[in-house]
């Protein structure tokens, strides 16, 4: 760094120092994928991260089986790009929504999420604790909505209503290549209205916009969600270029073409622009809410299982109300 006369102190060199530290430490990201089987969840994960990161790709199963109860299966990968190392953990939830009676299918998922908060909390309150507490908390839960084109199903509403209070939910319309653009827009609008009507705050939550710049950017995103996505691991030759796509008799759907589907928007949001923000909301809001609740349990035995039901899932302001509670007392 060249000194320009006497007037440069070098305070801004801290940015470079931070960058160096981040590169050395690497990053962690934990994504959960939830939705009925057959909605292309694994394919989408592989498309997002341009490699075989989904559990299915790794663990070869002799036959497609739907487990009797919902299972939570996670798999981690170390990926690296331009010197930046990331530990990506994909958490799959086979069995969700696949049974005849899907009552309480959200429970094991809620329990899993809370268990990760619990694990973090236990480590955090240790006397002798690790330098860097391993972060297994679910940063983002992608919820796959089947492309019916009409409206949300009761299961969708129930799940998102409950889970949006403890984790960042990113809803996506799966296999969107079965919807025309008009059908897609109508579907999205209906979904947005239904989310609003049920008080479901999906990511990016309005309450957590930090300033007016944030709000402006996030408002645009909120106008577009849920993203209608198509996933693919196959490349095809289109106009002289090799592109990821799905080939049909009537044409090739280009996954990364925003005129065809919104995959690129999802990828940009999740990975290129808002990844840090998603993690921050998880650690400074969702985790803190859990911690407050846990530490306030005066009658409970500290080693008892944390509650996995929230008292009033239809509460109008969801996470916002809890956030208010959090910021009110100071």
Partner 1 sequence: LLKCDGEGARAVPLAGHVGFDSMPDQLVNKSVNHGFCFNILCVGETGLGKSTLMDTLFNTKFEGEPTQHNQPGVQLKSNTYELQESNVRLKLTVVNTVGFGDQINKEDSYKSIVEFIDTQFEAYLQEELKIKRTLHSYHDTRIHACLYFIAPTGHSLKSLDLVTMKKLDSKVNIIPIIAKSDAISKSELTKFKIKITSELVSNGVQIYQFPTDDETVAEINSTMNGHLPFAVVGSTEEVKIGNKMVKARQYPWGTVQVENENHCDFVKLREMLIRVNMEDLREQTHTRHYELYRRCKLEEMGFKDTDPDCKPFSLQETYEAKRNEFMGDLQKKEEEMRQMFVQRVKEKEAELKEAEKELHEKFDRLKKLHQDEKKKLEDKKKSLDDELNGFKQKKTAAELLQSQAQQAGGSTTLKRDKERKK
297-326 positions binding partner 1, by CB under 8 A: 298, 302-303, 325-326
Which H or E element spans position 300?
A: none
**Minimum CB separation from partner 1 for residue 306, in Å?**
9
Considering only 67, 98, 119, 236, the residue that binds partner 1 (CB under 8 A) is 119
Considering only 189, 237, 317, 327, the residue that binds partner 1 (CB under 8 A) is 327
**Minimum CB separation from partner 1 for residue 264, in Å?**
10
User: Per rule CB under 8 A, is residue 123 in the interface with partner 1?
Assistant: no
Considering only 99, 111, 192, 215, the residue that binds partner 1 (CB under 8 A) is 111
Considering only 84, 181, 216, 258, the residue that binds partner 1 (CB under 8 A) is 84
- Binding marks (x or -) toward partner 1, 146..185, rule CB under 8 A? ----------------------------------------
User: Per rule CB under 8 A, is residue 11 in the interface with partner 1?
Assistant: yes
Q: Looking at beta carbons only, is 79 or 224 nearer to partner 1?
A: 79
Interface with partner 1: number of residues (CB under 8 A): 86
Rounded to whole angstroms, the Cα distance separating 42 from 306 reads 30
Q: Give whole-number Cα distances, 12 to 8, 16, 23, 84, in Å.
A: 9, 8, 18, 22
User: Per rule CB under 8 A, is residue 2 in the interface with partner 1?
Assistant: no
Rounded to whole angstroms, the Cα distance separating 253 from 180 reads 12
**Minimum CB separation from partner 1 for residue 21, in Å?**
6
| Stretch 260-289 residues interacting with partner 1 (CB under 8 A) | 267-268, 271-277, 280, 284, 288
Considering only 2, 24, 248, 259, the residue that binds partner 1 (CB under 8 A) is 24
SS3 content of the chain, % helix, strand, coil (to 5): 40, 15, 45
Stretch that binds partner 1, among 76-84, 163-171, 223-231, 245-253 (CB under 8 A): 76-84
Q: Provide the 3-class DSSP secondary structure of residue 304.
A: coil
User: Per rule CB under 8 A, is residue 126 in the interface with partner 1?
Assistant: yes
Task: Provide CB contacts within 8 A for 56, sequence distance 6+.
Answer: 42, 92
Q: Looking at beta carbons only, is 3 or 60 nearer to partner 1?
A: 3
**Minimum CB separation from partner 1 for residue 219, in Å?**
18
Q: Looking at beta carbons only, is 78 or 182 nearer to partner 1?
A: 78
Rounded to whole angstroms, the Cα distance separating 211 from 209 reads 6
Rounded to whole angstroms, the Cα distance separating 232 from 263 reads 10
Q: Which residues pair with 92 in a beta bridge?
A: 33, 73
Q: Looking at beta carbons only, is 118 or 183 nearer to partner 1?
A: 118
| Stretch 36-65 residues interacting with partner 1 (CB under 8 A) | 48-53
**DSSP for 41-69?**
HHHHHHHHTTS--SHHHHS--SS----SS
User: Per rule CB under 8 A, is residue 68 in the interface with partner 1?
Assistant: no
User: Per rule CB under 8 A, is residue 127 in the interface with partner 1?
Assistant: yes
Task: Provide CB contacts within 8 A for 1, sequence distance 6+.
Answer: 10, 13
User: Per rule CB under 8 A, is residue 212 in the interface with partner 1?
Assistant: no
Structure tokens at 154: 């009761």
Euclidean distance between the first and final Cα of the chain, in Å? 43
Rounded to whole angstroms, the Cα distance separating 114 from 1 reads 47
Stretch that binds partner 1, among 118-126, 171-179, 199-207, 310-318 (CB under 8 A): 118-126
- Site of tokens 């739907």: 66
Considering only 118, 194, 207, 209, the residue that binds partner 1 (CB under 8 A) is 118
Distance of CA 308 to the CA centre of its chain: 19
Rounded to whole angstroms, the Cα distance separating 317 from 19 reads 37
Q: Provide the 3-class DSSP secondary structure of residue 239.
A: coil
């Amino acid at each position: 760094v060249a000194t320009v006369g006497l007037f440069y102190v070098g305070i801004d060199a801290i940015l470079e120092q931070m960058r160096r530290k981040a590169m050395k430490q690497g990053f962690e990201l934990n994504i959960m994928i939830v939705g009925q089987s057959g909605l292309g969840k694994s394919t989408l994960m592989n498309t997002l991260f341009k490699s075989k990161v989904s559990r299915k790709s790794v663990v070869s199963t002799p036959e497609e089986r739907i487990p009797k109860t919902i299972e939570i299966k996670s798999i981690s990968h170390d990926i690296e790009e331009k010197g930046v190392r990331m530990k990506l953990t994909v958490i799959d939830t086979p069995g969700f929504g696949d049974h005849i009676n899907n009552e309480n299918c959200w429970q094991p998922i809620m329990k899993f999420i809370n268990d990760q908060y619990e694990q973090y909390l236990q480590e955090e309150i240790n006397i002798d604790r690790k330098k860097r507490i391993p972060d297994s908390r679910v940063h983002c839960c992608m919820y796959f909505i089947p492309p019916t084109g009409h409206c949300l199903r009761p299961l969708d509403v129930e799940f998102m209503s409950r889970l949006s209070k403890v984790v960042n939910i990113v809803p996506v319309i799966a296999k969107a290549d079965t919807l025309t653009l008009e059908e897609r827009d109508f579907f999205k609008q209906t979904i947005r209205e239904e989310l609003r009507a049920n008080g479901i705050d999906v990511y990016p939550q309005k309450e957590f916009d930090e300033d007016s710049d944030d709000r402006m950017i996030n408002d645009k995103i909120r106008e577009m969600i849920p993203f209608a996505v198509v996933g693919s691991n196959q490349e095809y030759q289109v106009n002289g270029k090799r592109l990821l796509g799905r080939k049909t008799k009537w044409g090739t759907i280009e996954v990364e073409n925003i005129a065809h589907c919104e995959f690129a928007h999802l990828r940009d949001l999740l990975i290129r622009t808002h990844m840090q923000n998603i993690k921050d909301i998880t650690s400074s809001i969702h985790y803190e809410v859990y911690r407050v609740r846990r530490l306030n349990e005066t009658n409970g035995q500290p080693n008892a299982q944390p509650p996995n039901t929230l008292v009033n899932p239809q509460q109008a302001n969801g996470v916002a109300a809890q956030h208010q509670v959090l910021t009110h007392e100071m």
